[in-house]
């Protein structure tokens, strides 16, 4: 009996001792809200270098923890006990991620912006220089009398070339215009006294047969490709401002389910029935014509004309070269296919006698400033420009030919070929010898003649060549 009591006493003492130790250890700490003892903190955390120190947000920098923070700590401890070591490591990883996000949020924003710029430059790989950085909306000052007075209108017709009219902040390589900017340009044209003309009126003017009722300040508006916005945005604006325009269509994009942002045949007919649009051809599927064989060129021009006439019931007499590209063969095939005029994207004003198959046309691009728009309208063509080779000729570096320029101040004349010096010799005040410079991967070099008229008006006229060196063999 005594032995049993003694054994019971010993067990009771041991139990009390063990209970005391446990109550001072981790179990009590995790089940209470009093926080850890210093000793247990050190034992659990180990050496200070083995675990990262948590960066405390300023909102938690208090002399004593708030009930909310205590509850959070308690919950984290309970979860640690339940999930043991693996869960503890996971919690620390999450905490480190939170810490990283807090510390580098501004840096991340900057990196995102830089990546967006990089992506934009890649996305708009065909963009025109300086276009992507321009604002989509630009206000034009219609009351700026000084700007209006400086414009040298009176000679020649500007032809403006537009594409999409989507208000989605996307330059689309420069070939998109915010609808509000188009309206600004319409209002500006009206304030300057411009009146829009039809393709028929333009052709009559080119032939020197403009009637007595021909506008004093004419402008031809053209829109390429067949965007759905030509019906939804363009037509309402033309009606609002009493204007008209011309659309150049390539059939393979119309009613094509792959191109949801383009017109269907029914929508195109609806736009044409509005009475404010003319129509012309833009080939069958918008290729680079000079790179094709003559047979392929012929098919592009004839088939497009036939399809458009059959689908719209309108006579197709005029052509816009895709990308503004052409050569001598393309011009010959355009004539043979029955086109009366063909439009480039070579800037310059058009006067009576301008060659009907290389009509000058200026691109209107994303966010175009008022001053640049002015320069298109006011550029005055020289009295005469004559090239010693045909516009659209195939050339190679080192080739030379004469150019005659009359009606410009000789001191102001500069002739550049894709940005490089083109004048080899100035034989007189009007005659120049031009030399084709060396290029790095320039397939279609443009020659620009710039200067000032004797009255001080700015002049700019452009022509196009094909660099034979970029082709392994001629298409034909």
DSSP states along 317-368: -EEE-GGG---HHHHHHHHHHT-SEEE------B-TT--TTSB--EE--TT-
Q: Which residues of 148-163 are buried (b: 16+ CB within 10 A; e: fewer)?
A: beebbbeebbbbbbbb
Q: Which residues of 261-276 are buried (b: 16+ CB within 10 A; e: fewer)?
A: ebbeeebbeebbeeeb
pLDDT, mean of residues 283-299? 98
User: Model pTM?
Assistant: 0.74
Name beta bridge partners: 433.
402, 425
Backbone angles phi, psi at 405, to 5 degrees: -125, 120
Q: How many Å apart are CA 174 and CA 164, to the nearest integer?
A: 10
Is residue 133 very low, low, confident or very high in pLDDT (cuts 50, 70, 90)?
confident
Backbone angles phi, psi at 451, to 5 degrees: 170, -165
Q: For residue range 422-464, what is the model confidence (pLDDT) as tens digits? A: 999 999 999 999 999 999 899 999 999 999 998 888 999 999 9
Q: Which two tokens stand for residue 24?
A: 């001072």
Q: How many Å apart are CA 352 and CA 201, to the nearest integer?
A: 12
Q: Which two tokens stand for residue 444?
A: 């279609």
Q: How high is the pLDDT of residue 71?
A: 42
Q: How many Å apart are CA 134 and CA 172, to the nearest integer?
A: 12
Q: How many Å apart are CA 164 and CA 230, to the nearest integer?
A: 8
Name beta bridge partners: 160.
221, 362
Q: How high is the pLDDT of residue 291?
A: 97
Q: Which two tokens stand for residue 263?
A: 């017109």
Closest CA to 347 of 332, 362, 365: 362
Are 280 and 317 spatial neighbours (Cβ–Cβ below 8 Å)? yes
Are 33 and 64 spatial neighbours (Cβ–Cβ below 8 Å)? no
Q: How many Å apart are CA 219 and CA 151, to the nearest integer?
A: 14
Q: How high is the pLDDT of residue 442?
A: 95
Q: How high is the pLDDT of residue 93?
A: 57
Is residue 151 very low, low, confident or very high in pLDDT (cuts 50, 70, 90)?
low
Q: Which two tokens stand for residue 359?
A: 């009509």
Q: How high is the pLDDT of residue 92?
A: 52
Closest CA to 249 of 280, 221, 270, 275: 280
Is residue 17 very low, low, confident or very high in pLDDT (cuts 50, 70, 90)?
very low
453 in the Ramachandran plot: left (φ > 0), alpha (ψ -120 to 50) or beta?
beta
- Helices H / strands E in the chain, number of each: 13, 18
Q: How far is CA 63 from the centre of its chain?
A: 57
Q: How high is the pLDDT of residue 39?
A: 35
127 in the Ramachandran plot: left (φ > 0), alpha (ψ -120 to 50) or beta?
beta
The strand pair at 341-343 and 318-320 is best described as parallel
Mean of per-residue pLDDT scores for the chain: 81
Q: How many Å apart are CA 219 and CA 233, to the nearest integer?
A: 20
Closest CA to 152 of 354, 377, 460: 377
Backbone angles phi, psi at 283, to 5 degrees: 75, -175
Domains of the chain, start order: 146-381 (3.20.20.370), 399-473 (2.60.40)
pLDDT, mean of residues 121-126? 41
**What does the chain come to in residues?**
476
Q: How many Å apart are CA 78 and CA 76, to the nearest integer?
A: 6
Alpha helices in 362-463, H assignment, sequence order: 370-378
Q: How high is the pLDDT of residue 49?
A: 35
Is residue 468 very low, low, confident or very high in pLDDT (cuts 50, 70, 90)?
very high
Residue 398 CB neighbour total at 10 angstroms: 10
pLDDT, mean of residues 78-93? 45
Full strand arrangement of the beta sheet holding 446-452:
420-421, 414-417, 446-452, 458-464
105 in the Ramachandran plot: left (φ > 0), alpha (ψ -120 to 50) or beta?
alpha
pLDDT, mean of residues 2-20? 45
* The residue to which tokens 């503890």 are assigned: 88
Q: How high is the pLDDT of residue 121?
A: 43
Q: How many Å apart are CA 330 and CA 309, to the nearest integer?
A: 21
The strand pair at 414-417 and 362-363 is best described as unpaired
Weakest mean pLDDT among 135-144, 149-158, 351-360, 386-395: 149-158
Q: How many Å apart are CA 364 and CA 438, to the nearest integer?
A: 29
Distances (CA, A) of 119 to 9, 122, 133, 360, 446: 81, 5, 13, 33, 29
Is residue 211 very low, low, confident or very high in pLDDT (cuts 50, 70, 90)?
confident
In the chain, the percentage of residues whose pLDDT exceeds 90 is 62
Residue 466 CB neighbour total at 10 angstroms: 24
């Amino acid at each position: 009996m005594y032995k049993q009591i003694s054994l019971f006493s010993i067990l009771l003492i041991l139990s009390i001792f063990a209970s005391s130790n446990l109550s001072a250890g981790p179990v009590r700490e995790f089940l209470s809200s009093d926080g850890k003892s210093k000793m247990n903190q050190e034992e659990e955390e180990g050496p200070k270098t083995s675990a990262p120190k948590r960066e405390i947000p300023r909102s938690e920098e208090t002399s004593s923890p708030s009930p909310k923070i205590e509850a959070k700590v308690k919950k984290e401890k309970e979860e640690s006990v339940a999930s043991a070591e693996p869960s503890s490591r996971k919690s620390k990883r999450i905490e480190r991620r939170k810490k990283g996000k807090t510390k580098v949020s501004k840096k991340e924003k900057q990196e995102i912006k830089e990546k967006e710029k990089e992506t934009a430059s890649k996305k708009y790989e065909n963009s025109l220089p300086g276009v992507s950085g321009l604002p989509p909306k630009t206000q034009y000052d219609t009351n700026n009398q000084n700007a209006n007075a400086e414009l040298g209108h009176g000679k020649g017709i500007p032809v403006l070339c537009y594409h999409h009219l989507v208000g989605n902040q996307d330059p689309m390589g420069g070939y998109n215009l915010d609808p509000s900017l188009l309206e600004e340009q319409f209002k500006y044209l009206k304030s300057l006294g411009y009146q829009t003309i039809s393709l028929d009126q333009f052709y009559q003017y080119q032939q020197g047969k403009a009637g007595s009722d021909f506008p004093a300040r004419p402008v031809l508006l053209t829109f390429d490709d067949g965007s759905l916005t030509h019906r939804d945005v363009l037509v309402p604006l033309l009606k609002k401002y009493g204007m008209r325009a011309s659309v150049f269509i390539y059939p393979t994009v119309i009613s094509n389910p792959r191109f949801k942002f383009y017109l269907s045949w029914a929508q195109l007919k609806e736009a044409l029935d509005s009475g404010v649009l003319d129509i012309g051809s833009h080939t069958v599927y918008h290729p680079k014509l000079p790179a094709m064989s003559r047979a392929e060129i012929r098919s592009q021009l004839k088939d497009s004309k036939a399809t458009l006439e059959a689908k719209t019931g309108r006579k197709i007499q005029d052509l816009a070269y895709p990308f503004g590209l052409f050569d001598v063969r393309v011009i010959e095939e355009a004539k043979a296919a029955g086109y009366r005029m063909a439009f480039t994207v070579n800037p310059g004003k058009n006067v009576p006698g301008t060659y009907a198959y290389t009509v000058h046309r200026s691109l209107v691009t994303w966010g175009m400033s008022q001053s640049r728009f002015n320069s298109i309208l006011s550029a005055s063509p020289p009295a005469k420009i004559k090239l010693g080779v045909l516009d659209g000729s195939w050339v190679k570096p080192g080739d030379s030919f004469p150019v005659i320029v009359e009606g410009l101040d000789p001191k102001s004349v500069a002739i550049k070929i894709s940005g490089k010096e083109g004048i080899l010799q100035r034989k007189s005040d009007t005659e120049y010898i031009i030399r084709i410079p060396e290029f790095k991967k320039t397939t279609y070099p443009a020659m620009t003649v710039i200067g000032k008229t004797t009255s001080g008006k700015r002049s700019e006229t452009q022509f196009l060549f094909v660099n034979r060196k970029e082709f392994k063999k001629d298409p034909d």
